[in-house]
């Protein structure tokens, strides 16, 4: 039965999926650099105008609260 292949998304490499091969790859310098470079592209603020993401097109549940807070909800007697 052939061994499964492991595909590294950071390095764009494939190799046989054995514990020793995976450990050796994940601890390798090339993998560490590729992983750091990938995370550096996403570092910083969540708002990225260059990618088309802005506070204006986020759903209401993901927008930050208004500066003064939310208006209090009216009291309703359910009873």
| pLDDT level of residue 27 (50, 70, 90 thresholds) | very high
60 or 14, higher pLDDT: 14
Query: What is the torsional sign of CA 14, 37, 49, 66?
Result: positive
This model's pTM is above 0.75: no
Q: How far apart are CA 79 and CA 77, in angstroms?
A: 6
The predicted-structure confidence for 36-77, as pLDDT tens digits, reads as follows 998 888 776 544 555 555 666 778 788 888 888 888 888 888
Residue 30 CB contacts under 8 Å (≥ 6 apart), including other chains: 11
Q: What are the residue boundaries of the structural domains of the chain, listed by start?
A: 1-41
Provide the phi-psi class of 28: left if phi over 0, else alpha when psi is between -120 and 50, else beta. beta
């Amino acid at each position: 039965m052939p061994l499964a292949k492991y595909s590294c998304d950071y390095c764009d490499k494939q190799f046989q999926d054995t514990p020793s091969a995976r450990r050796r790859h994940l601890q390798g310098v090339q993998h560490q650099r590729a992983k750091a470079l990938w995370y550096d592209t996403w570092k910083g603020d969540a708002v990225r105008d260059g990618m088309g993401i802005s506070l204006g097109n986020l759903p209401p549940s993901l927008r930050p609260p208004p500066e003064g807070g939310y208006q209090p909800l009216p009291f309703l007697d359910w009873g």
